[in-house]
Structure 1
Amino acid sequence: MLEGPSYLVSRDLPSSCEQESKWIYNTFRLIELSSNKRRLQDGEEKTLRKSSKLSDALEGEKVCRVVNDFSNVQNDQSIEQLQAGNHSDIHDVSDTQIDQSNDHNQSGDCSDIYDFSHEKNEQSNGELRAGNLSDIHDFSDAQTDESNDQHEGGVHSDILEFSHAQTDQSNDQHPAGEHSDLSSLVHQLGRDISINCLLRCPRSEYGSVASLNRSFRSLIQGGELYRLRRQMGIVEHWVYFSCTLLEWEAYDPNHNRWMHLPRMTSNECFMCSDKESLAVGTELLVFGKEITSHVIYRYSILTNTWSSGMKMNTPRCLFGSASFGEIAILAGGCDPCGNILSSAELYNSETGTWRTLRSMNKPRKMCSGMFMDGKFYVIGGIGTGNPKSLTCGEVYDLETETWTEIPNMFPARNGGVGLIEAPAAAEAPPLVAVVNNTLYAADYAEKEVRRYDKERNEWVTIGGLPERAVSMNGWGLAFRACGDRLIVIGGPRVLGGGIIELNSWIPNEEAPQWDLLASKQSGSFVYNCTVMGC
């Protein structure tokens, strides 16, 4: 079960008026913030998708007025109908008024929508008080209080279920080819404006949104919102990590929320095998080995489920990898026979397909990968014929589809003077992360953070790691980029359990000052960790 508010699809509808009121308030509030942040200009594209004539006529400053006035009318009508026991479809009222507006637009009368709404409001309420443009929050609270006062004596039916029932009734009344269930989400706003509001909602709330009705559920599970968010540059980064075999946690640093993913279903061989992880698009991929073959398990945030069966063109393990939006690149590693590979593959999460790329100049395993300046880099690892770690790196240009070797890109080994160096095969792959196209590395032995100077091709020590972040030759410690910050996940090791700590630092010109974002009782050894941005 998910801990706290779910960011995934819930199977149960919320059961309180308060939840619905909060959601309506958040939606209206988002419209207000959106209109203040980005004014609609004449001749400019009104929405990311092709907007209807109705949404084209909306000006950013007056969106809130339309919502305020129109919602006031709809709320009064809906309350009167609830009191009278007449649960007619409010959706039909909305359709009628929108159709009337479309008739005006088709006749060439592109009058201001606010005036139209104002006229409708005066017809229903008799008069509209001048200057009634109060904060939507106050408006929403007032409407909620009024609704609560009038819903006494057993009339406190779940508004969400009522809305859901009305949606189902509306679907039955509108045959195929007419107004479908997916044609609008918030009927008073229309589909385009509804989607623009949802794009700016935290994705941790999408599970609640999907519970509203089939339209919202289809929108969330179809992944359309995430594709539009990516096009608009709206990204939230969550950390996914595993401190217990087959169990994964997710952490939202923006809202300080923990979530527990469903347990993976696999055999004991996969559970005990070495595993790599990678987040790409809306998927979490976990690579491992079963009895006779390499397998990939895929977790989808759209459905909150695990699935298996994905196959690479060249099965591999101990590779370097990184993701960039909906694509990811895997390079090097070992094949099922233990041979070290120089081949690479590109995965597209939108199509679920693998494409073989040109091979690297050198084969390597136990390496690390990252995207920087729009290019894919591989550093470290062990090559063929030499048990020591490779110091050269390679960069893949996606435009020219070529690999270029970078001599002496990574220090030969972790470890300081006087320390006994572990065999290269016992060391973890390089702990590296990229923030704002700057490469950072964690030296587990010296407990230092280094920054890579691309111009000079050298590393500069800038400070230390969190004191309580321990590892075993680099294993068990996570060092990742999470948006504009560096994340270190680890904790003190104790018998019978431990504490996992998430430390964060936003890189600047000064030495790292680590902030403790969160901690919880858990195994202190991090088996796998990745960051998903969508």
Structure 2
Amino acid sequence: MFDGRSCVVPGLFSSSCQAENKWSFMTFLPELDIRNGKRHRDFDGDNEPQPRKVNKRVDSCHQGETRNLFQQHMCHADDSVVPKMDQDQRKGCELLRNCQRVEKAETSSVQLLDEWEQLKAGDSLVSCDLQTSKQQQDHSGDSSDSGVQQFVEQQVELAENSLEESEQQEHHAGDSSDSGSLLPRMNRDSSIACLGRCSRSDYSSLASLNRSFRNIIRSGELYRWRRLNGIVEHWIYFSCTLLEWEAYDPIREQWMHLPRMASNECFMCSDKESLAVGTELLVFGRGLSSHVIYRYSLLTNSWTSGMRMNAPRCLFGSASLGEIAILAGGCDSDGYILDSAELYNSENQTWELLPSMNKPRKMCSGVFMDGKFYVIGGIGGSDSKLLTCGEEYNLQTRTWTEIPNMSPGRSTRGSEMPATAEAPPLVAVVNNELYAADYVDMEVKKYDKDRKLWFTIGRLPERAVSMNGWGLAFRACGNRLIVIGGPRTHGGEGFIELNSWVPSEGPPQWNLLARKRSGHFVYNCAVMGC
């Protein structure tokens, strides 16, 4: 697991850092007749709950229906009295309760983390803060203690009063789920600030609660807030099977399958490039009659097609920086090598032609470093020779500058291969430093920007197998470099392994993040940070 987690203040949001949680919340308790030891009413399977009073509260989990309940801290209760909710809804309610607690606490994250650790350790089974009192009661015995029962009775009364007020508001203002407010007793900006700090792995749970949360997530507003405030989580997307993609969350250590792409046979057999920009994953290839772009949206968890560049191309170099990306070089549908470049903005899905490079090139690589875009290596010229130079694009001056010897080059063992047989340069940038993977000598190299030369700093993972560089992914993932590849057997069986190394911690020491069985190499790979 990543040591430097990119989720901010994990102690504030227990659900973002705990795989399982045995605690139950007072948010659910008014739906129960705990005094009689049984449920007030039952849910009807996976359908909308039928009872009038209680189930509206579970459906929305915000606004006036729960503004009293969200003020309560965590209380211990037996799982047998928790109403039937699906996993996403229960998780979403837990997240919202934690968000409201952040606004109310007005204390440091260290204090909140200490309090949460005490609760987990069982030092305080009950810690409840009512609106009319700040007294705390510690119970080390049975949860059926009279103090707990008295508290539950108070909560039932509070819930009924809150519900009556909510119904009066709904009578005049309509469905509260359409209101501009997201969390009770918090304005919209504060609500977004709380939700934006939740792990994006939890957004599907939040979206399952009601229309308001679903709309704010699908609109991308939360992700824009995160980008402006420097909150980023990096997920690794890669494809080992045609038309199928999966993602790996290194914080939660979870695998996720994306919906299958719908495509024609020609697209399946053509060369493809991939690029993650903003909240989108773009896959470029050739269709039956032209170049095709498939776009996966993290906001809707779906694929669409129909997007077109000004100058369609394949075999280009590309990189992204926040919500923008630059694609340079490549070749057109007739095989002509291009010197043109385009900038894509994922916020409005527009393409802008940039000034042309100094040299046409294809099968090149691209990176962003020090706020500038670099295209490295590739094949160019009438005789399709291997290029050793790179080019720097300055976004402010809109000019290209050629940089000699910027390509990491080949070892002597690979110098006799045809130029088109080798994969584009395997390069990545971490903390504005440029690194390369030498698949032949199994070495990691670093670029000296002052002297403009490459030098070896260590070894690649020994089991990172490739075929002339194809099938091996070398990417930046936050403050780490990752290598995705794996061993193969004669029967075609093998594994895909994800290895990571933090360059700031010293010479390459690769740690295995995850591995899974796969009979294929890595066809395409991209890292999405949002």
- State the TM bucket, normalised to the shorter chain: 0.7 to 0.9
Distance 2:105 2:502 in 1: 27
Q: Residues 25 and 290 (structure 1 numbering): CA distance in 2 closer, same or farther, change over 3 Å? A: same
Equivalent residue number for residue 515 of structure 1 = 511
1:50 aligned partner: none
Cα distance in 1, alignment partners of residues 324 and 91 from structure 2: 37
In structure 2, the partner of 1:261 is 258
Out of 419, 435, 440, the residue aligned to residue 435 of structure 2 is 440
* Counterpart among 237, 260, 270 of residue 234 in structure 2: 237
Query: In 2 relative to 1, CA 29–468 (structure 1 residues): closer, same or farther, beyond 3 Å?
Result: farther
How far the C-alpha of 1:255 sits from its partner, in A, is: 1.5
Q: Using the alignment, how far apart are the partners of 1:293 and 1:235 within structure 2?
A: 35
**Matched residue, 2:449:** 454
Aligned residue number for residue 51 of structure 2? none
Work out which of the residue numbers 85, 94, 110 in structure 2 matches 1:22. 94
Give the whole-Å Cα distance in 1 for the aligned partners of 2:447 and 2:308: 35
Could you give the per-residue CA deviations for residues 27-81 of structure 1, whole angstroms, max 9, x where no partner exists? 2455479852599xxxxxxxxxxxxxxxxxxxx9xxx9xxxxxxxxxx99xxxxx
Which amino acid letter does the alignment assign opposite residue 230 of structure 1? R
> 2:12 — aligned with what?
none
User: What's 2:395 paired with?
Assistant: 398
1:272 corresponds to 2:269: yes
- Is the Cα contact below 8 Å between 1:328 and 1:347 reproduced in 2? yes
Report SS of the residue matched to 1:205: helix
**Correspondence 1:351 to 2:423:** no
Deviation sequence 1:200-246 (CA, Å, 0-9, x none) = 10001000000111000000000000011110111111100000000
Q: Which residue type is aligned with residue 91 of structure 2? A: Q
Match of 2:297 in 1: 300
CA distance in 2, matches of 1:234, 1:381: 34
Aligned match of 2:335 in 323, 338, 341?
Answer: 338
* Aligned counterpart in structure 2 of residue 387 of structure 1, from 384, 387, 391: 384
Separation in structure 2 between the aligned mates of residue 329 and residue 243 of structure 1, nearest angstrom? 25
Instruction: State which of 457, 460, 464 in structure 1 corresponds to 2:459.
Output: 464
Q: Distance in 1 between matches of 2:164 and 2:523?
A: 48
Give the match for residue 416 of structure 2: 421
AA partner of residue 517 (structure 1)? L
Partner of 2:124: none
- Report the AA paired with residue 491 of structure 1: G
1:472 and 1:512 map into 2 onto residues whose CA distance is: 23
SS across alignment from 1:466:
coil
Structure 1 residues 516 and 354, CA gap change in structure 2 (3 angstroms)? same
Say whether 1:251 aligns with 2:251: no
Matched, 1:36 2:108: yes
Report the residue type matching 1:498 in the other structure: G
Q: Choose the corresponding residue for 1:226, options 215, 223, 227.
A: 223
CA–CA separation in structure 1 for the residues paired with 2:437 and 2:105: 40
Measured against aligned partners, the alpha-carbon deviations of 1:412-445 in whole angstroms (never above 9, x if no partner) come to: x42335x563211111000000000000000000
CA distance in 1, matches of 2:273, 2:346: 17
Shift of 1:254: 1.4
> What CA distance in whole angstroms lies between the structure 1 residues aligned with 2:519 and 2:323?
31
Alignment of 1:92-111 (within 5 A): none
Deviations 1:466-517 (A, max 9, x none): 0110100000000000000000000001224321100000003732000000
Q: Specify the alignment match of 2:522 in structure 1.
A: 526
Deviations 1:116-156 (A, max 9, x none): x98xx33xxxx553xx499xxx9xx99xx9699969xxxx9
Q: Is the 8 A contact 2:279 2:297 kept in 1?
A: yes
CA deviation string 1:253-292 (max 9, x = no partner): 1111110000000111111111000000000000000011
- 2:137 and 2:103 mapped to 1: Cα distance? 14
Contact 2:92 2:208 (8 Å CA) reproduced: no
Q: Is the 8 A contact 1:416 1:446 kept in 2?
A: no
- The 1:18–1:328 alpha-carbon spacing in structure 2 relative to 1, beyond 3 Å, is closer
- State the partner residue of 1:477: 472
Which residue number in structure 2 is paired with residue 310 of structure 1? 307
Once residues 509 and 415 of structure 2 are traced to their aligned partners in structure 1, the CA distance between those partners, rounded to angstroms, is 29
Pick from 166, 171, 174 the counterpart of residue 173 of structure 1.
171
Name the counterpart of 2:24: none
Aligned to 1:490: 485
Alignment of 1:276-287 (within 5 A): 276-287=273-284
The 3-state SS of whatever aligns with 1:493 is coil
Equivalent in 362, 366, 369 of residue 369 of structure 1: 366
Indicate the residue corresponding to 1:431 in structure 2.
426
- The residue type paired with residue 318 of structure 2 is S
Whole-angstrom CA distance in 1 between matches of 2:317 and 2:488? 27
Q: Determine if the alignment matches structure 1 residue 504 to structure 2 residue 509.
A: no
Contact map agreement 2:241 2:520 (CA 8 A) in 1: no
C-alpha contact 1:478 1:529 (8 A) present in aligned 2: yes
Aligned-partner Cα distance in 1 for 2:150–2:469: 58
Report if aligned partners of 2:325, 2:345 keep a CA contact under 8 Å in 1: yes
1:188 Cα deviation after fit: 3.2
- Once residues 223 and 379 of structure 2 are traced to their aligned partners in structure 1, the CA distance between those partners, rounded to angstroms, is 38
Change in CA separation of 1:481 and 1:166 when aligned onto 2, cut-off 3 Å: farther
The CA deviation at 1:391 is 0.6
1:185 is displaced (CA, Å) by: 1.2
- Provide the secondary structure at the position in 2 that maps to 1:217: helix
Q: Aligned equivalents of 2:225 and 2:322: distance in 1?
A: 12
Question: Residues 167 and 213 of structure 1 are in contact (CA less than 8 Å); yes or no, is this contact kept in structure 2?
Answer: no
Q: Give the gaps of 5 or more residues in structure 2.
A: 1-17, 20-46, 49-58, 60-84, 117-126
Displacement of 1:182 in angstroms is 3.5
- Relative distance call for 1:460 and 1:351 in structure 2 (3 A) is same
Paired AA for residue 173 in structure 1: H
**More deviation in 479-488 or 420-429?**
420-429
1:114 equivalent in structure 2: none
CA contact (8 A) 1:490 1:524 kept: no
How far residue 194 of structure 1 moved from its aligned partner, in angstroms, is 1.8
State the identity as a percent.
62
RMSD between aligned residues: 3.7
State how far apart, in whole Å, the 2-side matches of 1:169 and 1:456 are. Answer: 71
Alpha-carbon distance between aligned partners in 1 of 2:219 and 2:150, rounded to the nearest angstrom: 35
Structure 1 residue 339: Cα displacement: 0.3
In 1: Cα distance, 2:327 partner to 2:511 partner: 32
Contact 1:174-1:180 at 8 Å conserved across structures:
no
* Distance (Å, rounded) in 1 between the aligned partners of 2:279 and 2:451: 37
Shift of 1:409: 1.4
- Alignment of structure 1 residues 141-220 onto 2, 5 Å: 173-175=171-173, 181-220=178-217
5+ residue gaps, structure 1: 6-10, 40-59, 65-74, 77-116
Q: Residues 343 and 514 of structure 1: is their aligned pair in 2 closer, same or farther, counting only changes over 3 Å?
A: same
Letter in 2 for 1:423: P
Distance (whole Å) between structure 2 residues aligned to residue 276 and residue 18 of structure 1: 39
